[in-house]
Amino acid sequence: MRRLTPYLLALPSWMWLAIFLVVPLAAMASVSLQTGNVIDGFVMTFSFSNYGDALGTYSTQLVRSLGYGATATAAMLLIGYPVAYWIAFKGGNRKSVYLFLLLLPFFVSFVLRTISWGFLLADDGILLGTLKGWGVLSADFHVLATSFAVIAGLTYNWLPFMILPIYVSLERVDPRLVEAAQDLYASRGTAFRKVVLPLSLPGVFAGVLMTFVPATADPVNAQVLGGTGNTMIGNIIQTEYLVNNDYPTASALSFTLMAVLLVGIFVYARVLGTDNVLEAAAR
Amino acid sequence: MKHLHSPALVRGMTQPRTRRDVFRLAGLSAAGLALSACGVQGQKAEPPKADAVADYWAQQKQNNKVIFANWPEYMPEDHGPLKKFQQETGISYEYKEVINENTEFFGKADPVLRAGQPLGYDIVVMTNGIQLQHMFTLGYAVMLDQSKMPNFQANAGEAYKNRAYDPGNKYTMPFASGITGIAYNTKYVKDKITSIDALFDAKYEGRVGMMADAQEIANFGMIALGVDPETSTEDDWKKAGEKLKAQRDAGIVRKYYNQDYIDAVSRGDVWLTMAWSGDVFQRQLAGEPVAFVVPEEGGTIWTDNMLIPKGAANPVDAMMLMDYLYKPEIAAELDEYIQFVTPVPAVQDLLREKAESASGEDKKALLDMAESPLMFPTEADYAKLRSYTPLTTAKEQVFNPIFQSVTQA
Amino acid sequence: MRGARVRFGDRLLKAYTWLIILWLVAPIAVMIVFGFNDKQSKSNATWQGFTFKWYGELFAIPDLSGALINSLVIAAASTIITVVIGTMLGLALGRHRFRGQGATNFLVFAAISTPELVMGASLLSLFVSANVPRDRITITIAHVLFSLAFVTVTVRARVVTLDPSLEEAAKDLGAGPWATFRLVTLPSILPGVLAGAMLAFALSIDDYVVTSFVNGSTLTFPLWIIGSVKTGIPPQVNVMGTLIFGVGVLIAIINAVAARRRT
């Protein structure tokens, strides 16, 4: 019975993922090797060159997306860790209240959030306009339509997905352990580095996985907040699929993106010091 | 590649679910991967012969029910026109605001219609452009019964009876139109903009908005070069692409917009931008400092069209409703709410008459509408308006990359 | 002396946390304000005076009200399903060693990294091929699919920090597997489960791309709003957003008060 336990626990998810993810992904893999067009139909020609062509045309956008995704993830980690830390250790019995407040903005549609940011960050709006009025900023300064805006948007939109898992693993750490360590090492910094940080690494790993991957693939922020040279790979996939109806190229690009992300996670796991990537993913 | 010849097409229209589908389904559920083994089948449809169309319509009868899928905010909230239709004909309606984007709508409808299943709507509304063309080519649109559109014949403006993308109204009846021109913020732009060259003027570096849509931006690139998009060649596209690339690389363009350009121009993030007339009119009503101009070199007109998708359950009722919307008083009620360009010219006089008998705020609003060149373009405006480049699939594969490499760098 | 510095550091962190919360909530403030805008045309982008009328006409747009209800029902249903099966998977991956573990991890990763559009489009072809009508049920299925990995990963991050000896002890004391789970395992993983539930709910209620493919003719709140961008988002949308937010804040306050009572 005990040997069966993990299989029974995993069974419902397996079924869900097998039917609704594996079958469609297999179909997508097949489509990525087909040629044709939406009017005459697509036929399987094992056209592996779809991958080379797609990558050749859109390598700029792919590299840019990885850069934006990595930068935003680093920003989320730096911004989010102290928040998770404070809620976990000092949140008292209101921990869940704070977490809930962090997530609440995400219960109303991203369209409304985006429109509001446009209003707040307009070139002559209530923030920048005021600062320009005081002479702090030059008249041509703008935030919207820049790569900074895209990265900031990604950071904003996924921040709770970094904070929550870090919180979840930090919350487990006994504060008395930290106090004891502080007495032992006589410095908050050392205590943190030697005791708290290692214990929070599973949460950091989960947080990075849950933010880097979707942020890199995201099409919305580049479209809404970017300027002329900020197109991300998610936008390209969308255009290829919906506008050009070039399903093979869209599929090939998606698989390439997924493969690159997998490699990225692998390298990241190595840096974290875990040899086996799947082992790391399990943590 | 499989051609559906007309009898089969008619069957497809009348019996959305054939036995073939059942077999295919059984095969699929047995091995879900079959999906991946056989590619996506082609469905290019020959245009059905005239008698096939007549046969199709002969087999249809009125079901006293119609399901209308449209864009949000395209019908008064009280559903006035639809309620009147229901009272007069006894046909009950369901109205669904489910269409947000032509691309997305087509992306979603394509697999369903390809599998021979019904969409669940009797009328859908799509803008003229590549996706609408696909609907025709793939046989996804039911050919209209020309004998059942008396109001349309009597009341539609001439320009709406012969549109390049659907000559003779074989598949569609227009729902509303709009103009793509230039909007500018009068707080920042003191000159009176008249020429399309303003969009390419280095004076406005970083303050110009262009549209991200390949066809929209291509039109403006070509008009700026003095080329009529409707008759343009591959060579023209390349030149237009070059011109637009130069405009981008000179830092003149701030951003390629989808629909959010209107907020940007009314706030002053961009000072001038490609724009749709209806959006600008809304902002003028709200008292925002935006002006709209059809450039002297030309602008473009686009039209949202009603059509009956293949496999629709109630095509007769759909025809009746589509035609009913061309009664002048109904069209006026509709246009008073949606405030776009109506395909029924008589609406302008009806709005004027209504303004006569109204008073105060209402009177002013109605007069604003009736006299607005954005809702009722003048003859001179119409003369300057161009239509989209008609594209075959092969041409599209050349056309799109030229302009997407500009907008999606 | 050190105590004072520690307390100062804590206060600084507290202020910082509230600053981050404020940052996240900032756009919501704008949304709330424009729910009171006495706008004169369809556009609701510039301030034109204060009114309460949109609150009175909250349900004047039937499709919008229906869309909001759909969103809430789907978010609730998909959150419950995801939390149950995702927690089970998180436990299996974090606690046990079993054949297929690597492949399962890989799948979870693939689920997160599948671009939304691809997930939506491929689910649609699956449903069409199997002749499954698209409605609230297919939307819920899709939402469970993309939330599942997030819940699993979050729960797992908790499970791997736990000491398995507690459960062993419970079993040694004669507790059955269910009792062990209910009395020992569940309480200790609860923060992870709750965090996962909140993430799943947020993902579901805010989703646009995947939903737009598998919705058939069912509308959700984000779908309706996106459509109305073309002609101007009506203030009722802001009001509904405000009410969702208000109910959320109310729940938070009740929670905080209840927590104070307990101590």
Task: Convert the pLDDT of each residue in B252-262 to its tens digit.
Answer: 999 999 888 99
Residue-level pLDDT at B107: 87
Q: Are B29 and B131 in the same domain? A: yes
* B182 within domain boundaries: yes
Confidence of residue C165 (pLDDT cuts 50, 70, 90): confident
Cα distance between residue B22 and residue C185, in whole Å: 48
How far CA B405 is from CA of A221, B220, B247, C147, C235, in Å, comes to 19, 16, 13, 34, 37
Residue with tokens 């750490």: A173
Tell me, yes or no, whether B47 and B109 share the same domain. yes
Residues B102 and B225 in one domain: no
Is B218 domain-assigned? yes
Are B45 and B153 in a shared domain?
Answer: yes
Any domain includes B226: yes
We report the CATH number of the domain holding residue B206 as: 3.40.190.10
Minimal Cβ distance to C245: which of A80, A108, A110:
A108
Q: Which long-range contacts (C-beta less than 8 Å, at least 24 apart) are formed by C161-169? A: C161/A169, C161/A172, C161/A173, C161/A199, C161/A202, C162/A172, C162/C95, C162/C188, C162/C189, C164/C95
Residues B235 and B309 in one domain: no
ipTM: 0.88
Domains of chain C listed by start with CATH number: 63-233 (1.10.3720.10)
**B252 and B168 part of one domain:** no
Q: Which of B10-19, B160-169, B355-364 has the lowest mean pLDDT?
A: B10-19
Q: Which of A20, A202, A234 sits opposite C161 (nearest CB)?
A: A202
B315 belongs to a structural domain:
yes
pLDDT confidence of residue C145: 97
Task: Tell me what pLDDT residue C5 has.
Answer: 66
The model's pTM: 0.88
The 10 Å Cβ neighbour count of residue C110 is 17
Q: Which domain holds residue B96?
A: 6-177+303-365
* Number of other CB atoms surrounding residue B321 within 10 Å: 23
Chain C residues touching residue B112 (CB < 8 angstroms) = 124, 128
- B22-69, pLDDT tens digit by residue? 333 333 333 333 333 344 555 666 666 768 889 999 999 999 999 999
Hunting for tokens 């109806």 — which residue is that? A245
Looking at the partner chain, which of C199, C244, C256 has a beta carbon nearest the beta carbon of A97? C256
Arithmetic mean of pLDDT, B307-323 = 97
Q: Is residue B42 part of a domain?
A: yes
- What's the number of domains chain B is made of? 2
Identity of the residue in B77, B100, B286 whose CB atom sits nearest the CB atom of C41: B286
Comparing alpha-carbon positions, the chain C residue that sits nearest to B71 is C227
Give the model's pLDDT for residue A279.
46
pLDDT more than 70, % of chain A: 94
Residues B164 and B73 in one domain: yes
For A92-135, the pLDDT digits (tens) are 888 888 998 999 898 888 888 888 888 899 999 889 999 998 98
User: What is the pLDDT averaged over residues B278-302?
Assistant: 90
Is residue B95 within 8 Å of B66, Cβ to Cβ? no
Structure token pair of residue A198? 């290692």
CA distance to A115, B23, B253, B263, B401, per residue, from A151 (Å) = 17, 50, 21, 22, 27
Residues B201 and B258 both lie in one domain: yes
B185 and B246 together in one domain: yes
For A236, phi and psi rounded to 5 degrees?
-65, -45
pLDDT tens, C188-226?
Answer: 999 999 999 999 999 999 998 899 889 988 989 998 888
Same domain (yes/no): B18, B149: yes
Interface of B with C (CB under 8 A): 21, 24-25, 28-29, 32, 35, 69, 71-74, 77, 96-100, 104, 107-108, 111-112, 115, 117, 120-121, 259-260, 262-263, 266-267, 278, 282-283, 285-288, 338-339
**What's the distance, CA B286 to chain centroid?**
25
* Assigned domain for B220 exists: yes
User: Three-state DSSP class for C58?
Assistant: coil
- Residues B229 and B246 grouped into a single domain: yes
Taking 90 as the threshold, does the pLDDT of residue B291 lie above it? yes
- Nearest alpha-carbon partner for A258 in A233, A226, A223: A233
Contacting residues of B for C46, CB less than 8 Å apart? 266, 286-288
d(CA A263, CA A253): 15
Question: Do B248 and B167 fall within a single domain?
Answer: no
In terms of pLDDT, which residue wins out, A183 or B200? B200
pLDDT, tens digit (0-9, with 9 covering 90-100), for B67-123: 999 987 788 888 999 999 999 999 999 998 888 788 889 988 999 999 999 999 999
**Buried-state track C219-239, b at ≥16 Cβ within 10 A, e below 16:** bbbbbbbbbbbbbbbbbbbbb
Q: Which of A167-191 are b and which e, b meaning 16 or more Cβ less than 10 Å from the residue's Cβ?
A: bbbbbbbeeeebeebbeeeeebeeb
Per-residue pLDDT, B52: 85
Instruction: Flag whether B1 is in a domain.
Output: no
